[in-house]
Amino acid sequence: MTIDEIRDNFELLDEWDDRYRYVIELGRTLDPMPEAEHSAENKVNGCVSQVWLSRQIDRGGNSEPRLKYLGDSDAHIVRGLIAILLTLYSGRTPQQILSTDALAVFDEFGFREHLTPQRSNGLRSMVERIRSDAREALAAAS
C-alpha cells in the first residue's frame, strides 16, 4: 500500500470513528515482528504504549543503503500509526527519509486534533528514532 492510497481512503471517511477503525485495520497489516526483536534496544522511549521498531540496513550492491523496518505495539491504534509511518519510511534511503516530513502527513490527515498529547509525543518519538537512524546511516556511508 502507498501513502497516496492511505490518503485517498482517509478522504473517503468523514467520521473520526471510521478513520480510527481504518487506522486499526492498517495496524493489522503489519508484518509480524519476531519475539526476539521485542528488545530493549528496539523499544521506542517516549511512548505511553509499548512500541518497538527494528531496523535493517539493506546495502544492495552499489546503490545507496535502504533502511527497512519492522514495528509493533501493544496498542491497536499505535500499530496503525506505525503502519502509516512504515509506509512512508521503510525501504527508503536515508536521504529520502530525511526529506520526508511524516508529522506534516499526519497533520494533513488530521491527527494533531484527534490524538491525545501522549500519543502525539509517542508519534514524534517514533519519527525522531527513524530520522536518527537515517542520519547514522548517512554518516556511516560517508
Q: What is the average per-residue pLDDT within 76-103?
A: 96
Of 14, 23, 50, 45, nearest to 106 (Cα)? 23
> Cα dihedral sign for 39, 79, 28, 94?
negative
pLDDT of residue 61: 67
Q: What's the pLDDT tens digit per position in 18-45?
A: 999 999 999 999 999 999 999 999 999 9
CA 104 distance to own-chain centroid:
13
Domain containing residue 119? 3-141
Residue of 99, 92, 101 lying closest to 65 (CA atoms) = 92
- Number of domains forming the structure of the chain: 1
Summarised one tens digit per residue, pLDDT across range 48-74 is 899 999 999 988 766 788 999 999 999
Number of neighbouring beta carbons within 10 Å of residue 62? 5
User: How long, in residues, is the chain?
Assistant: 142
CATH number of domain containing 71:
3.90.1010.10
The residue whose grid cell reads 515482528 is 33
pLDDT for residue 7: 95
What residue has cell string 528488545? 39
The one-letter amino acid at 116: T
pLDDT at 139 over 90: no
Residue 46 — very low, low, confident or very high, per pLDDT cuts 50/70/90?
A: confident
Residue 47: active-site member: yes
Catalytic residue among 6, 47, 97, 126: 47
Q: What percent of the chain has pLDDT over 90?
A: 82
Query: Looking at residue 141, what is its pLDDT?
Result: 74
DSSP assignment of 25-78:
HHHHTSPPPPGGGSSTTTBPTT-SS-EEEEEEEE--TTSPPEEEEEEEESSHHH
Q: What is the mean pLDDT of residues 87-104?
A: 96
